[in-house]
Amino acid sequence: MLITLLGTGTSSGVPLIGCQCDVCRSVDFRDKRLRTSVHIAVNGRSFVIDTGPDFRQQVLRLNLQQLDAVLFTHEHKDHTAGLDEIRAYNFRSGQDIPIYGRPTVLAQLQREFAYIFAEHKYPGTPHVRLHEIHNEPFDLLDIRVIPIEVMHHKLPVYGFRMGDFTYLTDLNYISDEELEKVYGTRILVVDALQRQAHISHFTLDQAIALAQRVNADRTYFVHISHKLGLHSEVEKELPPNIRLGYDGLQIKL
């Protein structure tokens, strides 16, 4: 399995438009964060978790030639807004692309991208097949996926475990029951927005505490705000097996 962090930024991205803070003016490439998304290549198959507003830029940067499926964590725009861009992969493969999400997510996609699902489609629009998922294991492209339900304030969000890889974005709460699904994972990717308390995201301290409970071989933080601080400085504060993710980081399992 090859995991690529396509984006590691929060909903506004980093730099934040108009901001003149040290992070937003940084020349360190690790402080340039597109909206959070991840690509997974395994067993000759290729899929992404979420298609945010920067999806086109992300897949061009990766030179991604193949896309077999899309898996959605939740319905917020910073995770769905780039869905239209998958049509380029329809053109290449001549196939519909399966999309996986909980019923509320699929319903919102059908509202926001109504033209994709219209009875009489405009030529050139994306072609997809919808697959409802629930809080129980399912197969995606012959890969066993275990949903992990977390809370993003009052919105249920799915994280996912695939073998020894677990991905948890946009959360400020996970129950002990759901956390049981995470134990034993070797690679953990988890939300760590900023230092200050937030209504719907883990703080840096909360993310570190979760990572230490799970005790994965390696943990990477994503969905990072400019308020967290400079990548190079925050890294110095972290335990040895915990790191900040950055755009383009690749992790092999």
Tens-place pLDDT, residues 164-203: 999 999 999 999 999 999 999 999 999 999 999 999 999 9
Q: Tell me the per-residue pLDDT of 46-88, one tens digit each, with 9 for 90 and over.
A: 999 999 999 999 999 999 999 999 999 999 999 999 999 999 9
121 pLDDT tier (thresholds 50, 70, 90)? confident
Contact 168, 150 (CB under 8 A): yes
The pTM assigned to this predicted structure is 0.97
Q: Give yes or no for residue 234 having a pLDDT over 90.
A: yes
pLDDT of residue 201: 98
| C-alpha dist (Å) from residue 216 to 101, 182, 220, 222, 224 | 26, 9, 10, 16, 20
- The Cα angle at residue 180 between residues 139 and 147, in degrees rounded to 5: 25
Q: Give yes or no for residue 209 having a pLDDT over 90.
A: yes
Q: Give yes or no for residue 231 having a pLDDT over 90.
A: yes
Q: Give yes or no for residue 36 having a pLDDT over 90.
A: yes
What's the whole-number mean pLDDT along residues 123-134? 96
Find, among 44, 72, 70, 43, the residue nearest to 59 by Cα.
Answer: 70
pLDDT of residue 123: 87
